[in-house]
Amino acid sequence: MIGGRYSLRAAVGHGGMGTVWRASDVLLRRDVAVKEVVLPPGLAPSDRDSMYERTMREARAAAALQHPSVVQVYDVVQENGRPWIVMELLDARSLADMVIEDGPVAPRAVAKIGIALLGALEIAHANGVLHRDVKPANVLICNDGRCVLTDFGVARMPTDVQLTTPGMVLGSPHFISPERAMGQDFGPPSDLFSLGVTLYTAIEGRPPFDRGDPIETMHAVVEDPPAPTSRAGVLNDVLMGLLEKDPARRYDVPTARGMLRELLAGPLVSKAPVHMMTDPYAVVPAQRSPWQPPAPAPDQRPTGQIGGRAMLAPGESLSDRLAGGPGGGPAGAPTAPLQAPTGQMPMPNWGAPPAPASSGGLSGIKRRGGNLVSTVAGWPRNMRLGLAGGLAVVLVLIGFFALRGKDDPEGTTPVQAGAPTGAPSAAPFDTQEHAERGILVNVPAGWKQSGGGKTVYFDYIDPDDPGRKVRILVENASSKATPTGFLQQAERGLKGNAKSCPKPYSRVDLREGEMAGRVSAELEYRCGDGGSERHGVWGAVINGGKAYSFFMTSTEERFAESKPIFDEMVASFQLTSS
């Protein structure tokens, strides 16, 4: 029992400054984390006093910071002549553990982690606090999606005396800034350099200056450029801006955050259907804690469960996001559906607006109404009751405009399944429905169909460019198969088939998402080089012992203009009973 009220349960982590315990606050009856300072044996009394002082300084530094991406400090108590820091207990894994155990992190998640940590550092620097040890081991990805910067154990307040001895450098060699490695004066840009190394390590799976030896690594930090990236893609410019050797030229918080937000609204935009997107402020999908009830099956629609708020900038409110005011993202950027923080009513997103009568008439209204009812049915009962009145008004208005469109003398004939949808289509090109073997998806109108019969696939080929095509596959899958695992197996096939995928093969990204309310995965890849280089993207869903997938491939030169074809297939994807 610490401080007469905190009962230690089990150690949950160890670091250079001590051990973190899971504990119970017997007064408030809640679980907390308690940090214990572990002193090395044989330490001189003066060094012991310095370590105690450093621990107290960590508590003062962290307690002064109020931000969703900074761990909250509750209390500091003295027990047996030494301090113990009481903090919020986070169900999380460190970013270091994620990279070690799962491999490199997807670019979109890294961008959101970067925005969260930029917010944490911004609020710290505004309070005169330098972290001085930003690294993956000190970044926690919580089960609710929050990204939290921890361990201000080597933080320095402006009024604190310098506790390091001459020649001693605090921090990790891989993540130290050049100015600190050379013993020069440093400030907030030093933390931003460490952040750049952290994000680089997350997306590439390795630090940019690693030489295998601490001294050689620090020499590389000062003298050598970072190792070229192979997975960063559009994030490369942001990483290089944060890894600039000269602190005066290094990206600051507003610059880096603005670039990351533009990427999230553009090249790294979520491919999930708008009405199925989860909390856009969580850096990763929420995970289930060991003591929580089992998560719903992948083919069930999401509930109203909310993730974390790590993507909110300091001082930014949810009303700002709704109104598109300050901090609401880059001007002209697409507006993502908004979820409220835990404890507030999520803002409903009704999906796309109802189509005019000329694009499906009452049958289109019925289909959208069915999707809406299915979505609302998954919400908690009190939310359904609260929205019932508004829903009735919406449906009445939809019905009114549908009937009005039906009577319009200038209306056109409703579109039939399988026929080109033409101008009324939401896609930037004419489409037709492919409805075979339990899958319904829009493909470009007028493209030549092949395959089918006894084969597992259907091809649609651009009649003006045989190098552009989409393929739709329905294959048997094991009961333990996952979309990511399926695409990893497909990737092995791509690597081994030089005819359809010329060498060299390179993966651009492999990410998880959602299609038609089900967990999906998406593989983006390149094949060949020079004028023969090809670029493809492949999506997959597993359901009922079947793998439903489709990919779009084109030359590298035409990939940008062809990518909307794949995006339309993702948006229109449905599983049918046939």
Which residues fall in the annotated binding site? 35
Which is the catalytic residue, given 25, 133, 144, 151?
133
Residue 145 · residue 279 · CB < 8 Å: yes
Distance CA 127, CA 427 (A): 48
Q: DSSP letter for 73, please.
A: E
DSSP secondary structure letters along 77-138: EEETTEEEEEEE---EEEHHHHHHHH-SPPHHHHHHHHHHHHHHHHHHHHTT-B----SGGG
Q: DSSP letter for 539, please.
A: E
Rg (CA), the chain: 27
**Which residues, in sequence order, are CB contacts of 249 under 8 Å at separation 6+?**
none
Query: Facing residues of 19 across strands?
Result: 14, 36
Q: List phi, psi (to 5°) of 6.
A: -110, 110
Structure tokens at 146: 């929050």
H or E stretch at 437: none
279 φψ region: left (φ > 0), alpha (ψ -120 to 50), beta (else) = beta
CA 567 from chain center: how many Å?
19
Active site residue 237: no
Distance CA 275, CA 415 (A): 24
Q: Which segments are annotated as binding site for ATP? A: 35
Residue 181 · residue 226 · CB < 8 Å: no
- Catalytic positions, written as ranges: 133
